[in-house]
């Protein structure tokens, strides 16, 4: 496994686990009907900060464990894989923004709209990571 792929995995796994847990509980709160009162921006900010800290620590551990073994200088193949990931991620982000604008137009609460736009950004980033890992594993 290349150093770049290890970094992608260490960003994907903790991020996906934490945000799946947070947005899953937020979705359940909305489904039960008490979402407007139980969702808060402070909870979202806490989840984002914890997620960033966990990812930074994981990447530092991988970087220290692989010191001198890997290079972060991408070759042409990695540029293509990264471009493919960014392209697919961009389309997901645009779709999420359009849906969020529709939710705002329909009069949804600002807390739900903030959660929607944050979910869109996180989903786009996780999609980019998955596409890049797939491309590196596939070898094209």
Q: How far is Cα 9 from Cα 13, in angstroms, rounded to an integer?
A: 6
Take residue 117 and report the two structure tokens written for it. Answer: 């736009």
20-51: per-residue pLDDT in tens? 888 888 888 777 776 666 677 778 888 889 88
Q: What integer is the mean pLDDT of 93-122? A: 92
Question: Count of domains in the chain?
Answer: 1
Structure confidence at residue 67 (pLDDT): 80
Structure confidence at residue 72 (pLDDT): 67
Take residue 100 and report the two structure tokens written for it. Answer: 């969020």
Of 118, 124, 114, 62, the residue nearest 93 (C-alpha): 124
Q: What integer is the mean pLDDT of 120-135? A: 94
Do residues 35 and 112 make contact, with C-beta atoms less than 8 angstroms apart? Answer: yes
53-100: per-residue pLDDT in tens? 988 998 898 888 888 776 667 778 888 989 999 999 999 999 999 999
What pTM does this model have?
A: 0.83
Of 95, 82, 97, the residue nearest 130 (C-alpha): 82
**Residues spanned by the domain of 120:** 3-138
Q: Residue 68: which region, alpha, beta or left (left: phi > 0; alpha: psi -120 to 50)? A: left
Please indicate whether residue 111 or residue 139 has the higher confidence score (pLDDT).
111
Structure confidence at residue 132 (pLDDT): 93
């Amino acid at each position: 496994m290349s150093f770049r792929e290890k970094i992608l995995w260490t960003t994907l796994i903790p991020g996906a686990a934490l945000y799946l847990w947070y947005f899953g509980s937020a979705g359940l709160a909305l489904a039960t009907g008490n979402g407007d009162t139980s969702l808060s921006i402070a909870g979202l900010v806490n989840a984002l900060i914890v997620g960033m800290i966990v990812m930074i620590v994981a990447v530092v551990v991988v970087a220290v464990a692989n010191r001198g073994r890997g290079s972060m200088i991408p070759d042409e193949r990695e540029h293509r894989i990264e471009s493919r990931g960014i392209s697919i991620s961009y389309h997901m982000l645009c779709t999420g923004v359009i849906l969020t604008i529709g939710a705002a137009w329909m009069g949804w609460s600002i807390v739900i709209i903030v959660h929607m736009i944050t979910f869109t950004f996180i989903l786009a980033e996780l999609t980019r990571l998955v596409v890049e890992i797939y491309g590196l594993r596939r070898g094209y």
